[in-house]
Amino acid sequence: MLAQLIVSGLAAGSLYGIMALGLILIYKTTHILNFGQGDMAMFSTFIALLLFRNYGLPLPAALGAALVVGALLGIVIDRGLLRWAKNAPVTSLFIATLGVGMILQAIALWMGLIDSRPFPYVLRGPPVFIGDVVLRQHDLVVFGVALAVSLLLFAVFKFTKVGIAMRATSQNKRAAQLMGINVGRIGTWSWALGLGTGAIAGCLVAPIVFLDLSSMIFVMIKAIAAAVLGGFTSLPGAVVGGLLLGVIENLFSGYMPPAIAPLKTTFVFTLIILVLVFRPHGLLGERSVGGHG
Partner 1 sequence: MKRIIFWTLVVALLALAPLVLRSYNLYLLNLAAVKVIAAVGLALLTGFTGQLSIGHAGFLAIGAYGTALLAQYFGIPFWVGIPLAGLLSGLAGFILLIPALRLSAIYLAIATLAFGTAVAEALPRWASVTGGYQGMRVPRANLFGLDVQNDVAMFYLALAMVVVLILMARNLVRSRVGRAFIAIRDKSAAAQACGVSLARYKALAFFVSALYAGLAGGLYAHVVGYISPAEFGLAKSIDLFIMIALGGMASLPGPVLGALFLTYLPHWLSGFRGLQSIIYGASLIGIVIFMPFGIWGFVRKWTAPDKVRAMPRPLRAVVEFVQGGASRG
Q: Is 92 in the site for partner 1 (CB under 8 A)?
A: yes
Nearer to partner 1, 2 or 88 (CB): 88
* Residue 199 amino acid letter: A
Nearer to partner 1, 105 or 169 (CB): 105
Query: Per residue in 94-126, is it b (16+ CB within 10 Å) or e — as a string?
Result: eebbeebbeebbeebeeeebeeebebebbeeee
Q: Which phi and psi (to 5°) does residue 194 adopt?
A: -60, -45
Q: Is 100 in the site for partner 1 (CB under 8 A)?
A: yes
How far apart are alpha carbons 120 and 141 in whole angstroms?
13
Which of positions 27-56 make contact with partner 1 (CB under 8 A)?
Answer: 33
Distances (CA, A) of 170 to 5, 15, 31, 164, 180: 36, 25, 9, 10, 15
Closest by Cα among 130, 150, 201, 172 to 31: 172
* Minimum distance from residue 112 beta carbon to partner 1 (Å): 11
Q: Is 277 in the site for partner 1 (CB under 8 A)?
A: yes
Q: Which phi and psi (to 5°) does residue 31 adopt?
A: 60, 25
Q: Is 280 in the site for partner 1 (CB under 8 A)?
A: yes
* Minimum distance from residue 73 beta carbon to partner 1 (Å): 14
Q: Is 96 in the site for partner 1 (CB under 8 A)?
A: yes
* Minimum distance from residue 195 beta carbon to partner 1 (Å): 17
Which of positions 204-263 make contact with partner 1 (CB under 8 A)?
Answer: 214, 217, 221, 224-225, 228, 232, 262-263
Q: Is 94 in the site for partner 1 (CB under 8 A)?
A: yes
How far apart are alpha carbons 72 and 94 in whole angstroms?
19
Residues in contact with partner 1, shown as a per-residue x/- string from 152 to 171 under the rule CB under 8 A: --------------------
Q: How many residues lie near partner 1 (CB under 8 A)?
A: 40
Number of C-beta neighbours around residue 130 at 10 A:
11
Q: Is 266 in the site for partner 1 (CB under 8 A)?
A: yes
How far apart are alpha carbons 189 and 145 in whole angstroms?
21
* Minimum distance from residue 139 beta carbon to partner 1 (Å): 24
Would you call 55 helix, strand, or coil by DSSP? coil
Q: Is 183 in the site for partner 1 (CB under 8 A)?
A: no
* Minimum distance from residue 284 beta carbon to partner 1 (Å): 17
How far apart are alpha carbons 98 and 293 in whole angstroms?
26
Residues in contact with partner 1, shown as a per-residue x/- string from 57 to 86 under the rule CB under 8 A: ------------------------x--xx-
Q: Is residue 28 within 8 Å of residue 89, measured between CB atoms?
A: no
* Chain residues that interact with partner 1, rule: CB under 8 A: 33, 81, 84-85, 88, 91-96, 98-103, 105-107, 109-110, 214, 217, 221, 224-225, 228, 232, 262-263, 265-266, 269-270, 272-273, 276-277, 280
